Amino acid sequence: MEVIVRYWRSILSVGLACWLCLILNAKHQTYWQPEKPMKAINCHNFQIWTIAFIEWNNSIKEDIVELKPLNAARIISGPGPKSFPARPYIKTYASPGGLASTVYKGDDETMPIALWVGDTARLISLSETPLDLSARSDGGVWISTHQTLLFHYDRAGALKHRVNLPGTNIVGVDGDAVWVMTDEKAWFVNVNGDVRGSYPWKGFNRSAGSKQAICQLERDKIRRIQCLEPDGSKHFVNISLPKSPSGKLLFFSDDKLLTGSIGSGDLGYYSTGGIAADLTIENAGMTGSGDAFISMRTDDDLAEVCLTKGTGQRFALKYKIPSFPLPVILSVLAVEGDRTLVYGADRAVWYKGSQIEKSFTVDDNVYRKEIFPHHWRTATNFVTANSSDGTIIISTSGPTGMALIGMRWHPEPQR
Q: Which amino acid is at 202?
A: K
Beta-carbon contacts of residue 225 (< 8 Å; ≥ 6 apart)? 215, 216, 217, 218, 236, 237, 238, 239, 249, 252, 257
Sign of the alpha-carbon dihedral angle for 202, 205, 208, 214: positive
Choice among 7-21, 196-210, 252-266, 273-287 with the minimum mean pLDDT: 7-21
Rounded to a whole number, what is the distance in angstroms from the first to the last CA of the chain?
Answer: 83
Q: What is the pTM of this model?
A: 0.87
pLDDT digit string, tens, across residues 265-298: 889 999 888 889 999 999 999 998 889 999 998 8
DSSP per-residue letters across 160-217: EEEEE-S--EEEEEGGGEEEEE-SSEEEEE-TT--EEEEEE---TTT-EEETTEEEEE
pLDDT of residue 370: 96
Q: What is the CA radius of gyration of the chain?
A: 25
pLDDT of residue 381: 62
Beta-carbon contacts of residue 203 (< 8 Å; ≥ 6 apart)? 181, 186, 214, 215, 216, 226, 228
pLDDT digit string, tens, across residues 334-363: 999 999 999 988 899 999 999 999 999 999
By CB atoms closer than 10 A (0-12, 13-18, 19+), residue 399 is middle
